[in-house]
């Protein structure tokens, strides 16, 4: 039976299962959940077809929740940093991350017009879940978005508080689904169906082996930009159907979340987040004006000093800046493969008004890369 690095839990092929080979050493799941304690959960909403009726559908959307720590420890902050390659998008909580270098609570990713709801619902979930034990007088959770209005009734506000709760409470640490699930349900990338994707890499440092994982909600790029493993091949798909495209087919975004168990300080995590843009660039993206390309990185290390303030000096471990290159490389590799996984583990989708986005044809992709079709 193929391993979870080759297929998703539902059996969808991933890039490795298709025979594509990337640089670096993937973790056992080749997922962000290879980082100990990190969990991912989804709520997926697919309903209706035909003509758009605002408030009724069709609906192609959802919520993704990423838990930096196990659910009963998710109040404990993690050191973090962020980077905006192109700021036509939203990632809440970043002012506090810039100020204090940390955040707590689950990360949520959804569609553009539900981002505020998922942020607020995350606080409500925390107040209920930690009844009598909620440590914060205020909370500034991270919530992010990409636009799914080509396929989804985005102005119908179909994501609810209950969907956010479901995504958080379903978060698991094992193999996770990819493609049209969670917040990625209605997304497209390079003119193909895309959405949620993940990958990971081992990084050796001294006598230690650390894990770095990436998760993306991919929704960016024009078809002609598509580049796979160094081959610019988007033009090879020009004859595939693109029906009823939006006036601006490049209206798009990508959110990337990078997690690691290696000890880093906030300024180093900002630097790590910047490298996600190079993974996007390897795929052919260049930060178009209409694209919100925003990246977050966090470290689960230094747990002992993150539980609360106390009088006295604290000490944090960290990898020296001069030795960080291996982690930069792992971040680029993981984001690149995660984007491609979001496209390969997918299927054609028709949404509102008959708008249609095809899945990337596996056989033609392999042909353009000079590889044999996988059975």
Over residues 327-338, the mean pLDDT reads 98
Clarify whether 291 is annotated catalytic: yes
pLDDT digits (tens, 9 = 90+) for 276-298: 999 999 999 999 998 999 999 99
Please give the Cα distance from 161 to 120 (Å, whole number): 8
Q: Is the pLDDT of residue 248 over 90?
A: no
Phi and psi at residue 288, in whole multiples of 5°? -60, 155
Clarify whether 114 is annotated catalytic: no
Higher confidence at residue 198 or residue 306? 198
- Sheet strands side by side (includes 143-146): 39-47, 59-67, 107-111, 143-146
Over residues 31-46, the mean pLDDT reads 98
Buried/exposed 72-97: b ≥16 CB within 10 Å, e otherwise: eebbbbbbbbbbbbbebbbbbbbebb
CB–CB of 300/260 below 8 Å? Answer: yes
Clarify whether 293 is annotated catalytic: yes
Q: Is 129 helix (H, G, I), strand (E, B) or coil?
A: helix
Q: Is the pLDDT of residue 1 over 50?
A: no
Q: Is the pLDDT of residue 132 over 80?
A: no
Q: Which of 106, 192, 186 is closest to 146 using CA atoms?
A: 186
Please give the Cα distance from 220 to 282 (Å, whole number): 13
Per-residue pLDDT, 272: 98
Over residues 326-339, the mean pLDDT reads 98
CB–CB of 63/164 below 8 Å? Answer: yes
Please name each of the domains of the chain with its CATH number.
32-353 (3.60.70.12)
Q: Which one of the listed residues 5, 114, 196, 291 is annotated catalytic?
A: 291
Please give the Cα distance from 342 to 345 (Å, whole number): 6
Q: Is the pLDDT of residue 247 over 90?
A: no
Please give the Cα distance from 82 to 192 (Å, whole number): 27
Q: Which residues pair with 193 in a beta bridge?
A: 188
Per-residue pLDDT, 305: 87
Q: Which one of the listed residues 4, 253, 334, 342 is annotated catalytic?
A: 253
Q: Which one of the listed residues 225, 293, 299, 334 is annotated catalytic?
A: 293
pLDDT digits (tens, 9 = 90+) for 334-354: 999 999 999 999 999 999 999
**Beta strand 252-260 pairing with 291-299:** parallel
């Amino acid at each position: 039976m193929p391993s979870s690095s080759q297929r998703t839990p539902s059996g969808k092929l991933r890039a490795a299962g298709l025979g594509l080979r990337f640089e670096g050493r993937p973790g056992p799941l080749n997922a962000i959940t290879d980082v100990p304690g990190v969990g991912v959960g989804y709520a997926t909403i697919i309903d209706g077809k035909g003509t758009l009726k605002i408030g009724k559908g069709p609906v192609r959307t959802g919520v993704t929740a990423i838990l930096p720590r196990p659910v009963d420890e998710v109040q404990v902050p993690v050191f973090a940093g962020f980077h905006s390659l192109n700021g036509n998008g939203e990632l809440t909580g970043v002012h506090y991350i810039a100020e204090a270098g940390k955040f707590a609570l689950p990360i949520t990713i959804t569609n553009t017009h539900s981002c505020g709801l998922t942020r607020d619902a995350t606080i409500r979930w925390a107040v209920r879940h930690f009844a009598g034990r909620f440590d914060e007088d205020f909370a500034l959770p991270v919530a992010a978005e990409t636009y799914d209005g080509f396929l989804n009734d985005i102005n119908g506000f179909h994501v609810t508080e209950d969907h956010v709760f479901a995504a958080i409470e379903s978060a698991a640490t094992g193999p996770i689904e990819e493609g049209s699930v969670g917040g990625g349900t209605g997304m497209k990338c390079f003119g193909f169906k895309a959405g949620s994707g993940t990958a990971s890499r081992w990084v050796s440092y001294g006598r230690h082996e650390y894990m770095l994982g990436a998760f993306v909600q991919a929704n960016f790029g024009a078809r002609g930009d598509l580049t796979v493993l160094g081959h610019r091949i988007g033009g090879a798909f020009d004859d595939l159907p693109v029906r009823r495209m939006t006036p601006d087919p490049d209206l798009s975004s990508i959110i990337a979340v990078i997690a690691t168990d290696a000890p880093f300080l906030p300024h180093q995590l900002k630097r790590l987040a910047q490298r996600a843009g190079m993974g996007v660039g390897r795929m052919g993206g260049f930060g178009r004006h209409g694209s919100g390309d925003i990246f977050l990185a966090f470290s689960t290390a230094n747990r002992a000093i993150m539980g609360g303030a106390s009088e006295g000096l604290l000490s944090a471990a960290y990898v020296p800046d001069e030795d960080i290159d291996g982690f930069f490389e792992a971040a680029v590799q993981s984001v690149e493969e995660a984007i491609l996984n979001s496209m390969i583990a997918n299927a054609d989708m028709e949404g509102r008004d008959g708008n249609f986005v095809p899945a990337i044809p596996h056989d033609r992709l392999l042909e353009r890369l000079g590889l044999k079709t996988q059975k």
